[in-house]
A and B are shown apart, each in its own frame.
Chain A
């Protein structure tokens, strides 16, 4: 049973560029949440997708956008990259019918903005 997968593992971009990160949820899960984790901090919620729609959103600018596909996989897009966007980006999957919305994290994508 495959867990949550993310790609790429690492990414280096320059300021102003755009980036797309990808996530495939755990088998049987239909909900994908994205988090940003800066060094030394806890993960911060970006947004959550369910039934191909953004269900809720955290306090992140519109430069951060996402998408969910019919197979439940998801993408996170960040436009006009800033140095402060350098972080570990985590995808978490859960089941809408699951108890307590338990979320399981993928390995993450380490984004460095130069």
Chain B
């Protein structure tokens, strides 16, 4: 069973702060890592993907991957109330389960003004 674990939260930060979201995965064969944002009642929206160890930055978002520790994180700088949502971590393992995404339960983030 391939597992993806996230702190369910809720995580609450003030506007302008850095929000840090964490995710661990069990399968060392995992090769692609994704962060989705899901507003209440809506479908997941892709924010970022990362394949290589290290950091990847896109605007206010930074994804960090450490394959040795089986850990991936998402940092949101200058958090805004509009960032309030559930953030889903997903991993994709090559081989027999090519293309199948395994999701965590999501971390609920609230950014208060």
Contacts and interface: CB of A to CB of B under 8 A. Distances in A.
User: Do A and B share a complex?
Assistant: yes
Interface of A: 31, 33, 35, 40-45, 48, 50, 55-56, 58, 88, 90, 92, 94, 99-108
A44 B96 CA distance: 17
30 contacts: A31-B99, A33-B100, A41-B105, A42-B103, A42-B104, A42-B105, A43-B44, A43-B88, A43-B103, A44-B103, A45-B100, A45-B102, A55-B98, A56-B97, A56-B100, A58-B100, A90-B43, A90-B44, A92-B101, A99-B51, A100-B31, A100-B49, A101-B98, A101-B99, A104-B46, A105-B43, A105-B44, A106-B43, A108-B42, A108-B43
A102 B34 CA distance: 8
Interface of B: 4, 31-32, 34, 36, 42-46, 49, 51, 88, 90, 92, 96-106
A10 to B, nearest CB: 11
A52 B84 CA distance: 38
Given A42-B88, A103-B101, 18 more contacts: A31-B99, A40-B105, A41-B105, A42-B104, A50-B99, A56-B97, A56-B98, A56-B99, A58-B100, A90-B43, A100-B32, A101-B32, A102-B32, A102-B46, A102-B49, A105-B36, A107-B42, A108-B43
Nearest to B1: A59
Contact of B106 (A42, A58, A90, A106): A42
Contacts of B102: 45
A88 to B, nearest CB: 7
Contacts of A41: 105
Contacts of A90: 43-44
A107 B43 CA distance: 5
